[in-house]
Structure 1
Amino acid sequence: MKLYYVYILECKDNLLYTGITNNISRRLAEHNSDKNENSFTYSRRPVELIFHQEFNDVNQAIYFEKKMKKWSAQKKRALANGDYDLLQILAECRNASHYRNSSENE
C-alpha cells in the first residue's frame, strides 16, 4: 500500500511551508538541497520538518493539504506542537457575521 504525507516545514526565517509527498525523507532532502532559485524554500534553508501526517488515500492527503494551506501560521504551529486545545480555539469562526458573534445572542 502506497503512503502519502502532508507535512509542515519550518524555514530558517521562521516561515512555514506546507506540502505533500509520497516519500518524506527524500522530499525533506530535496527542500534542503533545492537548485530551483524560484522555490519558496530556496532562500529559506535549512528547513526543518515540524509535522507530518500519513495517509493511505492520495485524495484525502490532497484535501488535507489544501485545507492546511489556508490556515494561519499560528494554527499550523498549534497542530505541529500537539496543542489541540489551542487548535480548536483558533478553528472557531471569529467573523462578525457568525451566529456566535451576533448581538441577538446576548
Structure 2
Amino acid sequence: MYYVYVLQCADKTLYTGYTDDLQKRIKVHNRGKGAKYTRARLPVTLVYYEEAETKSMALSREYRIKKMTRRQKETLISAQMN
C-alpha cells in the first residue's frame, strides 16, 4: 500500500508527496531529513492523505495533485475533513 499526502508547512505552504509508510515519512520530514522544500519550513502537519494500491498509482496521483491550484488543494483537504 502507498500513500499520497499533503503537508502544511510552518509558513502555510502545502507540500505533496508519496510514501509507503506515512507516519514514518512525516517524522522524517519533521526531523529535517525529508524533502529539501520542507527542511526550511518546519514543522509540517499532515492535512490530507489517500491510499493507492501501487507505486505507479501513487506517483500518478501525486503528479495530479501537484498540478492543482492552491484553492483546488484546499477543496480536496476540506472534502476529506467532512
Unpaired runs of at least 5, structure 2: none
Give the match for residue 12 of structure 1.
10
Normalising by structure 2, we get a TM-score of: 0.90
Q: Which residue, 58, 78, 82 being the options, matches 1:81? A: 78
TM-score normalised by structure 1 residue count: 0.71
Distance 2:36 2:55 in 1: 23
Count how many residue pairs are aligned between Structure 1 and Structure 2. Answer: 80
Q: Secondary structure of the equivalent of 1:40?
A: helix
1:60-79 residue CA offsets vs partner (Å, 9 max, x unmatched): 11111011111111111110
Of Structure 1 and Structure 2, the greater strand share is in 2
Greater relative CO (CA pairs within 8 A, separation 6+): 2
Q: Which runs of 5+ in 1 are unaligned?
A: 84-106
**Matching residue of 2:57:** 60
- Structure 1 outlier segments of 4+, above 3 Å: none
Residue identity (%): 35
Whole-Å separation in 1 of the counterparts to 2:33 and 2:24: 15
**Alignment partner for residue 37 of structure 2, among 36, 40, 49?**
40
Q: CA deviation at 1:35?
A: 4.1
Could you say what the CA RMSD is over the residues aligned between the two structures, in angstroms? 1.6
